[in-house]
A and B are shown apart, each in its own frame.
Chain A
């Protein structure tokens, strides 16, 4: 034969196998993970100029964590399991009667209203991080519980769910615009005032 046949056609039957192999590799290595955690704001490095704001002692809820992970809350030792309850009682107290949605004891020796109530958190340098996160979690949880209660009363749904929806970039913007004032309103009812003092050295 003077002329040879053209190059034989390559069998593409195994193409699918190769593609499958790659697919499975990427399936296995893919981690579509979104991290989650506790959001906090640090205080600015420069304190504001008018520092002579007087805060009454009764409006401050002091939480001290020592190096062994024990809590000293308002000068008394407290089990960490009761922290959320105590924090809620303090925030929800409404001592001066100006807070008409508070359901607390209206104890004159505790906080005036949620606007003024400040939680002060102090920890030792040797406190374990896990203990610190637990305490942070309970304090944020106290705020969330109260905000959920108010959101249920005003809008019939949970605040945490509304906020998550508001912060989620996949939520349609019309819905986000609708949620924004609601989230703001509930946040203003119980503003998160959590101050963290510098760590004590000993």
Chain B
């Protein structure tokens, strides 16, 4: 018995965990820097339609977002159930789209101002009338590059 108990030198030394906090902090900083907090909370229902022929929207700094959809339940008593436009953090009228685009464009650096894309995040139950109005406004301010943001999937799922 004593033979085993005495054998101390052969034990594996405990792994030093002193550098563990450093490793964890490194990971922490990585995630802190890549995290983008949602900059605008959604006031509208936003179930995007599906499409299969999609292209990725690279480079987030070149994108201006416009949300369209029915107001979420908590806003329905105030704003009704007709699809509405959301710009940044508030509901907006079609006529404000142009000035919003111009304001957002002015915020971007000079060299990006000509390559901006407008991402239309439209709920699949919205009507085309409103979208057409937005498209007219976009044409007036010369924001011609649009991206109909969708989920990747079979487009025929939309029809059900």
Q: Is there an interface contact between A23 and B27, defined as CB atoms closer than 8 Å? A: yes
B56 to A42, Cβ gap below 8 A? no
Q: Assess whether A35 is interfacial by the CB under 8 Å rule.
A: yes
Which of chain B's residues have a CB closer than 8 A to the CB of A27? 31
Which residues of B are found within 8 Å of A19, using beta-carbon distances?
21, 24-25, 28
A196 partner residues in chain B, CB cutoff 8 A: 135
Residues of chain B with a CB closer than 8 A to A198's CB: 132, 136
Say yes or no: A26-B32 contact (C-beta < 8 A), given A36-B149, A134-B155: yes
A-B contact count, CB below 8 Å?
Answer: 172
Once the chains bind, are A38 and B31 in contact (CB under 8 Å)? no
> Please, what's the 1-or-0 string for B64-96, where 1 marks a CB less than 8 Å from any CB in chain A?
000000000000000000000000000000000
Q: A19-B24, A23-B27, A129-B122 are in contact. Are A136 and B148 (CB under 8 A)?
A: yes
Chain A's closest residue to B117 (CB) is: A39
Q: Any chain A CB within 8 A of the CB of B145?
A: yes
Q: Indicate if the CB atoms of B159 and A129 lie closer than 8 Å.
A: no
Q: Please measure, in the bound complex, the distance between the C-alpha atom of A29 and the C-alpha atom of B34, giving whole angstroms.
A: 11
Give A132 Cβ to nearest chain B Cβ, in Å.
Answer: 5
Q: Enumerate chain A residues within 8 angstroms of B121, measured Cβ to Cβ.
A: 35
A5 at the interface (CB under 8 A from B): no
B14 interface hit (Cβ, 8 Å): no
Q: In the complex, what's the smallest C-beta–C-beta distance from A7 to chain B, in angstroms? A: 21
A38 contacts B55, C-beta separation under 8 Å: yes
Cβ of B36 under 8 Å from chain A: yes
Q: In terms of DSSP, what is the predominant structure of the interface of chain B? A: mixed
A102-146 CB mask vs B (1 if < 8 Å, else 0) is 000000000000000000000111111111111011101100100
Q: Please, how many angstroms separate the alpha-carbon atoms of A133 and B158 in the complex?
A: 8
Given B24, B125, B129, B149, which contacts A37 in the complex, CB threshold below 8 Å? B149
Q: Given known contacts A15-B21, A36-B150, A37-B150, is B127 in contact with A127 (CB within 8 Å)?
A: yes
Contacts of B148 in A (CB 8 A): 37-38, 40, 133, 136
**Which of B54, B138, B146 counts the most A-chain CB atoms under 10 A from its CB?**
B54
Most buried by A among B51, B121, B122: B51
| Smallest CB separation, A170 vs chain B (Å) | 9
Q: Is the CB of A34 within 8 A of B123?
A: no
Assess the A20–B24 pair: CB atoms within 8 A.
yes
Chain A 14-50 interface mask (CB, 8 Å, partner B; 1/0) = 0110011011001101111011111111111100000
A-B contact pairs, 14 of them (CB 8 A): A16-B17, A19-B21, A19-B25, A31-B38, A35-B119, A35-B147, A36-B57, A37-B51, A39-B55, A39-B117, A45-B140, A126-B129, A141-B52, A141-B53
Given A36-B55, A167-B55, 16 other A-B residues pairs in contact with their CB atoms under 8 A: A16-B21, A23-B31, A30-B31, A30-B34, A34-B56, A35-B121, A35-B147, A36-B149, A37-B119, A38-B147, A45-B142, A125-B127, A130-B158, A130-B159, A131-B158, A133-B51
